[in-house]
Amino acid sequence: MSIKAKFAKSGAWMMVSAIFNNLSSMIIFVALARLLTPTQFGIVAFATIFIELSRTLVVAGIPDALIQRKGWDDDVASSAFWTNIGLSLAICMVISLIAAPLSYFGYDEIFALVLFALSFALVIEALTTVHTAKLRREFRYKAIAGRNMVANVLGGVIGIALAAIGWGVWALVASRLLSASLTSIILWRTSGWTPQLSFRWDHVRSLSRTSFHLLSNQLIGQANTQIAGLIIGVAIGPAAVAQFRVGTRILDLMAQLVISPLQAAAMSAFSRLANDGKPIGPAYTRVTRTCSLIACPMFFGAAAIAPDVIHVLFGSQWTEAATIMVINSVVVGPSVIMYFFVPALAAAGYSALSSRHYFASLIVNVTTAVAAAPLGLLAIAAAKTIQSHLTLPYGLRLTKQAIGLGALDNLRAVAPAYLASISMGGAVWALGHFALGGMTPLSRLAIMAVAGVLLYAALLAVFARRFFKDNLSELTSLFGRFKQSRPVRSTLEG
């Protein structure tokens, strides 16, 4: 099988896995949120922040460095394996030392126990980082996708069962550890590789030259993702962390299901244009405009129906999560412009500029979140939206430097969808708040959702007909070619 065919098949399997895992994870997430109290849910959510940050250090960019090597060397792989194991054990020791002091931030001793228990997932996952790298090198993504789906479902089902019989926080802990264990067992059986009892520092140093840059970017990206939850956990407490997590979960799901396929397709198109010596700027404008067609109405529509969505899915105990969902929906403006920032800069050979943007975003993110902490949960949630708007001009400047695309071109590309979506969101909110206030949440939600789709389409048909027609055609082309697992050309390369 040719490399192109292997790549296409691998992409298809990872897309299936992503859709399945995101949908199944959402179902599990909803079930657990209804069975547990916000405090129970928040204790594990806060502990998971430390585990996610630590996971980046455990992996240390080594799997990607192994994949980028010209050939597979068992001695190098074995050195990488023992390095990951050593890092995971060292981080577990550090976590055991800081777990108790962290409990003083408004937590009882159960938080320290939960954090310590979850740290063992790092060791379990370290057992398979090299195995995963080998499978990725060999384009065996079917095996990776299969183990993810099996482990995710079985771990989730057991977690729900344990929560239903009263295990509380330990239901979540058991679910996570079981999923990690199942994944490791499946990968060891399918990869066909066993580490040797050998270790050489020169192999580790050769890998570190590649992995260091990857690790720094991954750490900054992970810190950007987790900083709001971390500050909420320290400043307010576990129940607030849970409210924040629930309030952002649906938006994350929408981005993963709809935006990620567009990002993958755009990366292929950008790379081909760069290889052919063609400008990336016009393609960036087109794909951003197309993305805005679906992302803007989804996020502003979610803001309009957030209270009913949260009530129907999660229950009345998650009221604050609805407001957080509204606040985070507003981030769609800057986000839709920057969704394809990293793929475009990577294709153009300016990856270092994206690192600058990540670092600047982290600084602003930390500053705004810390400043908002005394004002409470909603203010910290708003800090992320504020950060995205504050750093947008810098991102636009770097885009201009890398691919020659002006800020006004970017803003014009998303303006029709953005303005139509704001109008639609406001009208749908008014409909639900004033005209449908006496209905049940589920009935009101159904009517508002249908009204939003029809109103958005009508606004574009009346005020931006050419925009709607051109981008609907391009969107169909993008998704159609992506599903067929063929190289993406469409009008991005026009």
pLDDT in single tens digits along all 494 residues of the chain: 555 555 556 556 666 777 888 888 899 999 999 999 999 999 999 999 999 989 888 887 787 788 777 788 889 899 999 999 999 999 999 998 888 777 665 566 788 899 999 999 999 989 988 988 888 787 777 777 777 788 889 889 999 999 999 999 999 999 999 988 988 888 888 888 889 988 888 888 888 776 666 677 778 888 888 999 999 998 998 999 999 999 999 999 888 877 776 776 676 678 777 777 888 888 888 888 888 988 999 999 999 999 999 999 999 899 999 999 999 999 999 999 988 888 888 788 887 788 888 889 999 999 999 999 999 999 999 998 999 999 999 999 999 998 999 999 889 989 999 999 999 999 999 999 999 988 999 999 999 999 999 999 999 999 888 887 777 766 665 555 444 444 333 333 33
> Angle at Cα 444 formed by Cα 439 and Cα 447, nearest 5°?
135
Q: Which contacts qualify for 385-390: CB closer than 8 Å, 24 or more apart?
A: 385/327, 385/328, 385/330, 385/331, 387/361, 388/331, 388/333, 388/334, 388/335, 388/338, 389/333, 389/334, 390/364
Length of the chain: 494
Using CA atoms, how far residue 284 sits from 56, 390, 472, in Å, is: 30, 21, 16
**Amino acid letter for position 462:** V
The neighbour count for residue 45, using CB atoms within 10 Å, is 22
**Amino acid letter for position 196:** Q
Say how many Å lie between the first and final Cα of the chain, rounded: 30
The neighbour count for residue 231, using CB atoms within 10 Å, is 19
The alpha carbon of 227 is separated from its chain's Cα centroid by a whole number of angstroms, namely 14
Using CA atoms, how far residue 410 sits from 137, 268, 345, 384, 460, in Å, is: 36, 20, 15, 21, 19
Phi, psi of 61 (to 5 degrees): 70, 5
Which region holds residue 485: left if phi is over 0, alpha if psi is between -120 and 50, else beta? left
From CA 259, how far away is CA 264, in angstroms rounded? 9
- DSSP for 185-205, please give it: HHHHHHH-----S---HHHHH
User: pTM of the entire structure?
Assistant: 0.86
From CA 398, how far away is CA 382, in angstroms rounded? 25
From CA 239, how far away is CA 28, in angstroms rounded? 19
From CA 92, how far away is CA 345, in angstroms rounded? 36
The neighbour count for residue 422, using CB atoms within 10 Å, is 17
pLDDT value at residue 475: 60
Residue 365 near residue 387 (C-beta atoms within 8 A):
yes
From CA 101, how far away is CA 109, in angstroms rounded? 10
* DSSP tag of 105: T
Residue (of 132, 122, 118) closest to 186 by Cα position: 132
pLDDT value at residue 422: 96
Domain locations along the chain: 3-232, 237-488
From CA 345, how far away is CA 44, in angstroms rounded? 36
pLDDT value at residue 191: 83
Tracing tokens 């975003």 back to the chain, one arrives at 361
From CA 258, how far away is CA 238, in angstroms rounded? 31
Residue 280 near residue 270 (C-beta atoms within 8 A):
yes
From CA 487, how far away is CA 297, in angstroms rounded? 28
